[in-house]
Structure 1
């Protein structure tokens, strides 16, 4: 093989250039303290997961979680059902509270039990408070209805109190005390009991636009007072209908107006056989016989 002169010269000259050496090989992975820390955190995470799972299972077991609810709480199609004693520490908002068919509904509190009703704006419209000393209701109108809900047995508002029952019975020994007037079409006592209308310190007045009827079908009628007994008819007459009308030692005062004279004349009321009444001057005894000639004129 023939080489040129230039190729020979280049081949004969020494080469001072060094070839690049191969790069050093480094191991791939985590070693040393980093590896130990990673294993420690993985182990700690595993222990935390096991403890969390154990606590979750324990809570589910203690609280009695089921598919239908939790503990005494059951979720049904009709709503939420509570069995046993339930305690609420915060306000409870429900549409309806209903007990089981075979047990009553009991609302119990160490203090007062209060039921509030509010409108759409949150304003209080009605309140019922059951306390240890009294039951208080705050509302525009309070009503007590019958079992079917059709008849109002008792109602009260700011203007009047209405009792819708056929008979109002008061069993107290002192009867009923009214501070002001009473309006009623009929007052009747219980069978075989006396009816007594009494005003111990004031005047007892009975008024009616068409008349006042007082009847005692079996017993006696008695009207007594400490001072004056006034029976007055402004337009009609006073009619006493009885087999016998007896006026005992009573005397009728026919004197003039009060203060007209210092001494008023007292008369005795007499009755003729025909029923005519006339006055006779009162004396120590009856004076009707001495003035009986008046009956001859009737």
Structure 2
């Protein structure tokens, strides 16, 4: 009992001390009047806020009006925008279109019954690439030339069944029934040409010419040169050779004329007798050179003729 009474007295003392400290703190000196702060905005701040709100409201109205105007001008709809329509097959575009950046598509085709036009101020280039992105084919249409870079170039008929023209790195093939050259200078070939027939148009001349080199015609079974309705002329600045390795050379005509053949003189004849002769015979030297010799009862062709000796 004594201990509990002692604890109660100490607790009362602590409480009394706290009360005294609290009472002293309440009797502290306070200022005479409290400061008054106004609530809200007033003056130039309030005017600025209202001005910014009005400006924001006007900007929103202008943006909304421009958006509605752009949608109306561009004809925005559920299917697309103006002449550009979105379909299940892709994009359908009508009229003229201009692309500022590269266009990547799998197929470009025009409407049925109309043509497709690709126009550029400089050139139009079509590229084809493989799965690795490497360039496999290119077609460039420029103001001065049309260039194609590919492994094989093919030109087919309208139904895509017949091959008309093909070009590779080592060979160029033309399978058309007729190849016509209408230029005034004809066609110029830098190397050999292989063809089964060379024929001129009706009522026109056919001319095969090599101005600075030789002209050679070869065939495994023979070469036939014929002129059905006109003369056939073969001229050469130097030698003209007709050679057959196994067969014969046949000149079949009503008359065969060999003009400007030299007159040969052999040792047993004099120049005066030679000039008085009227009939001559054609002689051939061992080298193949031909000349005229006075005709007698027997052949006057001799290998010791001056033509053969100096040929």
The two structures have a TM-score, normalised by structure 2, of 0.68
CA shift for structure 1 position 87:
0.7
CA distance in 2, matches of 1:281, 1:99: 75
Using CA pairs below 8 Å that are at least 6 residues apart, which structure has the higher relative contact order? 2
Contact 1:111 1:132 in 2 (8 A): yes
Matching of residue 185 in structure 1 with residue 196 in structure 2: yes
Correspondence for 2:234: 223
Structure 1 segment 77-226 matched on structure 2, within 5 A:
77-226=88-237
Contact 1:251 1:269 in 2 (8 A): no
Matching of residue 33 in structure 1 with residue 41 in structure 2: yes
Per-residue CA deviations over 1:8-65 (Å, capped at 9, x if unaligned) read xxxxxxxxxxxxxxxxxxxxxxx6239x79x958777655544443332122123221
Give the one of 278, 282, 285 matched to 2:292: 282
CA distance in 1, matches of 2:209, 2:228: 20
Correspondence for 1:235: 246
Give the one of 75, 97, 103 matched to 1:64: 75
CA distance in 1, matches of 2:68, 2:253: 95
CA shift for structure 1 position 157:
0.9
CA shift for structure 1 position 77:
3.5
CA separation of 1:290 and 1:176: change in aligned 2, threshold 3 A: farther
Q: Judge which range, 218-227 or 139-148, deviates more.
A: 218-227
Correspondence for 1:291: 298
Secondary structure of the equivalent of 1:159? coil
Contact 1:189 1:195 in 2 (8 A): yes
CA separation of 1:293 and 1:52: change in aligned 2, threshold 3 A: closer
Structure showing the higher helix proportion among its residues:
2
CA shift for structure 1 position 280:
9.5
CA separation of 1:118 and 1:154: change in aligned 2, threshold 3 A: same
Provide the alpha-carbon RMSD of the alignment.
3.3
Q: Which runs of 5+ in 1 are unaligned?
A: 1-30, 254-266, 271-278
CA distance in 1, matches of 2:228, 2:262: 28
Q: Judge which range, 72-81 or 41-50, deviates more.
A: 41-50
Contact 1:68 1:75 in 2 (8 A): yes
Q: How many pairs does the alignment contain?
A: 242
